[in-house]
Chain A
């Protein structure tokens, strides 16, 4: 397929596309590179918009339906821009029996967000993770990439509100 067409050009002239291009080229621009390419695009841009999905699909010779199917199948990929900060609440078993449920309930009550939602002011995106492996710190949350262990709902809400 790719041989029949000219190589598509990136949706924007953002330099970050070069990183995505390199990752795809290293795997021979073949359909099997789809997930790696989506990882690369999300790492570079923070989320996957329609242009990114089309560009990756065109480059690898994968139809849009399949690209969209894969991007929505895996929970790691997000198709919407995220808030300024992200808060990931671990809902692994150890965190669950140590009170992750109360944390999520508290965040919903006080900040009005459910998992996969962003607060109305666009400040904080709330996500959940199926065990981040920090079971000894249960319940654990990850705020902007930093793991916080043994958190309580009250402290966490105060911290997020202060952001």
Chain B
């Protein structure tokens, strides 16, 4: 895996005019250059648009790269923000089409709605995505960037910052939903000269790419969020632990850190105050378990990423045995906006104990694969059908998998339930980091459970027995079922063992590993029975050889 998934060549912003044209810019072309669109040649496309515009003598338009526009399924995407026009599935040869549209933009044009995929979203953590050049500090500052940090440093005390976050009811967006304000307060009160802030960007759930998109599209926001957190908990050093599989995100973060240091937003004496804070990047190396906070800390310390029992919690004894605040990328991304717009504004969004918005990555058998941010409390049906555009080829919806390998599959009868931390747990699933994999009738639910168990078996760090041995045994039982060789006794054994693994494992990986089994058994027990009793796979995914005695 030493290969880099995305071409990491340097990418320059291309401004067609600026020096030529002094007046106001009439139109922009925003070209998405996040990983997904980049892999579909969006960089060449941007260069072609620039050249074509220059050839056409357009001197008052700006072609610029932006972060993720969200609708990854239709990439590469180009948007003209003045009119709201969106161009999908372009190739570099289509540059002329965009230039013609740029030519037609009039100063009186109004931005037209872009359809339910965009209009039904509420963007907080992703408010700058697709609006700014990810590496440009000027762009970020122009959109209110670092205002929150300045406000915190000049107008607030650290306890006021913590109170503000507490009042906003922000909860950890990494999955478990621990109240962020409470975590910050614990770290602030912990004794220790040296404290650390860590940003968990080890987004390991398969099918989840929210953090990647945020880092690739708006890296300064994470730095600002971390700096505010550091001020609130009295930390001076920060680490971003990012997956090595995200080379583009890492490259943009490095640029952002360098630029922020030069501009005095990181380093010694930020904003001419006595507050100092700096950030370093640490690369993961392909271990899913390192998303667990104690394993992540071990990994930053240069050790094998194995979790340890808690307490002591990292808030008291974390990195290099010092009090450490660990939050997820999306949690930090929310912080600057909360400080800027106020806790009350944020707490007004959402339902019950789940406030604010949540970013989801839609993938699987869904039309609009991509990245969306919606207020908590929106129903799954709205997310999947109105925003996501429904199932590919109009096939019947079967289940949506949330929460990654620790999550569960939610069937059609619960599509109208509002999404919140609590409601998903009630349904036997889990918010997780926000991946939503939609499945239609071509997916076998036993096979899906087996897939996730294979994942956990492979990623188990091996430290505790229930997880190391249990996940393998569970996988073998599931394998027997998918081959049509299992008996009802095996099914009983599967359920019993799943309970043991869930209760006895040391960390979240093992504790959550049986969840896909529990939830598929709860909603799709008939599929298990079909494999075991009738020896057929209803979805036609598993190959079941008919046993000899039945044939005879």
Contact = CB atoms under 8 A, between A and B. Distances in A.
A157 B11 CA distance: 32
Nearest to B448: A97
B363 A138 contact: yes
B369 A136 contact: yes
Contacts of B443: 97
Interface of A: 30-36, 38-39, 42-43, 46-47, 60, 62, 66, 69-70, 73-78, 82, 86, 88, 91-94, 96-98, 127, 129-138, 142, 144-147, 149
A75 B209 contact: no
Interface string B316-335: 00001000000000000000
Contact of A34 (B5, B39, B245, B302): B302
Nearest to B452: A93
Contacts of A38: 285
Interface string B435-466: 10101001100001001000100010100000
B439 A73 contact: no
Given A131-B206, A145-B5, 10 more contacts: A62-B302, A66-B303, A74-B286, A92-B207, A97-B365, A134-B35, A134-B39, A136-B36, A136-B363, A147-B6
A83 to B, nearest CB: 11
A98 B401 CA distance: 15
Interface in B167-202: none
B437 A94 contact: yes
A101 B373 CA distance: 31
B48 interface: no
Contacts of B283: 35-36, 39
Contact of A88 (B1, B207, B455): B1
Contact of B207 (A35, A47, A93): A93
Contact of A130 (B286, B299, B301, B305): B286
B285 A35 contact: yes
Interface in B14-43: 35-36, 39-40
B487 to A, nearest CB: 26
Contacts of A60: 302
A70 B461 CA distance: 12
B39 A96 contact: no
Contacts of B455: 130
Nearest to A62: B302
A74 B462 CA distance: 13
Nearest to B4: A145
Interface string B294-306: 0000011111110
Contacts of A32: 300-302, 320
B246 interface: yes
B307 interface: no
A137 B435 CA distance: 16
A97 B361 CA distance: 16
Contact of A76 (B206, B244, B363, B435): B244
A128 to B, nearest CB: 8
B3 interface: yes
Given A136-B369, A145-B3, A94 B207 contact: yes
B302 A149 contact: no
17 contacts: A38-B285, A73-B287, A73-B461, A93-B206, A93-B363, A94-B364, A97-B365, A97-B439, A97-B443, A127-B3, A133-B209, A134-B35, A138-B363, A142-B3, A146-B7, A146-B39, A147-B5
- Of all A-B residue pairs in the complex, the 4 with the closest CB atoms, nearest first, are A74-B285, A34-B302, A136-B72, A76-B286
B244 A142 contact: no
Contacts of B288: 130
A132 B206 CA distance: 8
A75 B287 contact: yes
Nearest to A128: B1
A136 B213 CA distance: 13
B304 A133 contact: no
Nearest to B459: A130
A86 B364 CA distance: 26
Contacts of A76: 1-2, 244-245, 284-286
A32 B241 CA distance: 14
A74 B73 contact: no
A99 B35 CA distance: 21
B162 interface: no
B437 A93 contact: yes
A75 B282 CA distance: 16
A28 to B, nearest CB: 12
B244 A93 contact: no
B7 A149 contact: no
B432 to A, nearest CB: 12
Nearest to A135: B363
Contacts of B7: 145-146
Contacts of B300: 32
A76 B451 CA distance: 21
Contacts of A75: 1, 285-287
A55 B464 CA distance: 32
B411 to A, nearest CB: 16
B245 A133 contact: yes
Given A38-B285, A133-B36, A127 B207 contact: no
A33 B73 CA distance: 39
| Residue of A31, A132, A135 with most partner-chain B CB within 10 A | A135
Given A97-B443, A129-B1, A35 B212 contact: no
A86 B3 contact: yes
Contacts of B39: 134, 137, 146-147, 149
